Amino acid sequence: MTSAYAGPEGDAALSRDVARAAGELLLDIRSSFGDLDPTDRERGRELRDTADRAAHDLIAARLRAERPDDHLLSEEGVEDLARLSADRVWIVDPLDGTWEYGQGRADFAVHVALWTRTAAGGVLSACTVDLPAAGTAYSVLDAVPEVPPVPSDRPVRVVVSRSRRPEQLDAVVARLAARLVADGHGALGVEVVEVGSVGAKAAELFAGRAELYVHDRGFSDWDLAAPLGVALARGLWCAAPDGSGFAFNQPSLVQPGIVMATPALASAVREAVGLA
């Protein structure tokens, strides 16, 4: 029987469908727990642990059924160093933004990405960021949107972590604001928006609600792979905050962070973060 996920777009379609299915499961599990008392830490931990494990199991089973020869690198999985010699590795975060999920917030996500070995090292493809509570998924299958201009009806928005603001955020914002003024775009200034998961932060740019995402501390592969892959497919400018590159499926799973910006602001952002 021919797989529904055959052909040149099969991997990407599988990624999108698996992420959506995991997202629906996460919503069902949270609903089944009912209204949680925020002071009941044990029950909240049970919800988060149950959801993380269930979403991982669903994704692992679906990928194993459709791509039995591929390897899986998941935040909730058991480390398998055989991935280091594999040609195809799915990099998955079954529940990115676990804390936000447990708080009943909407800014959590499911990440699914495929890393494929190449002569130059490896590439990301078949990437999906699913936002279950928003009923939205962003995928490499999406049509590439038109390049948005610098906003003229609101401040330029910088998305950062709710819990770990970049150490140099104030300086970056000040330099960006000064550059916007110099370029004739500075009338409304720059504002900072705090969002939960990595996928949800990147999605603020995908949706056109923000122009810059900065995180200056290490991620793991599963935090960054899918959002980065979708961002690159959509034409966003992406760089490591220390000027290094991104390499996935390495012995160390630590990533350097991310600077992600709309193309119209790429030059100004490079200058603001010190990469010019």
What one-character-per-residue DSSP string does 105-118 give? -S--EEEEEEEEEE
**Using the 8-state DSSP alphabet, how is residue 20 labeled?**
H
Q: What is the DSSP letter of 85?
A: G
Give pLDDT tens digits for 112-154: 999 999 998 899 999 999 999 999 999 999 999 888 899 999 9
Looking at residue 41, its pLDDT comes to 86
pLDDT tens per residue, range 247-258: 999 999 999 999
Residue 236 token pair: 């966003």
Could you tell me the pLDDT band of residue 162, with boundaries at 50, 70 and 90? Answer: confident
Give the pLDDT band of residue 187 (cuts 50, 70, 90): confident
Q: What is the DSSP string of 241-260?
A: TTS-----SSSS-EE--EEE
Residues contacting 117, CB < 8 A, separation 6+: 86, 87, 88
pLDDT attached to residue 185: 86
Residue 62's pLDDT band, with cuts at 50, 70 and 90, is: very high
In the chain the domains, ranked by start, together with CATH numbers, are 10-139 (3.30.540.10), 156-273 (3.40.190.80)
Look at residue 17 and tell me whether its pLDDT is greater than 80.
yes
Task: Kindly report the number of other CB atoms within 10 A of residue 188's CB atom.
Answer: 14
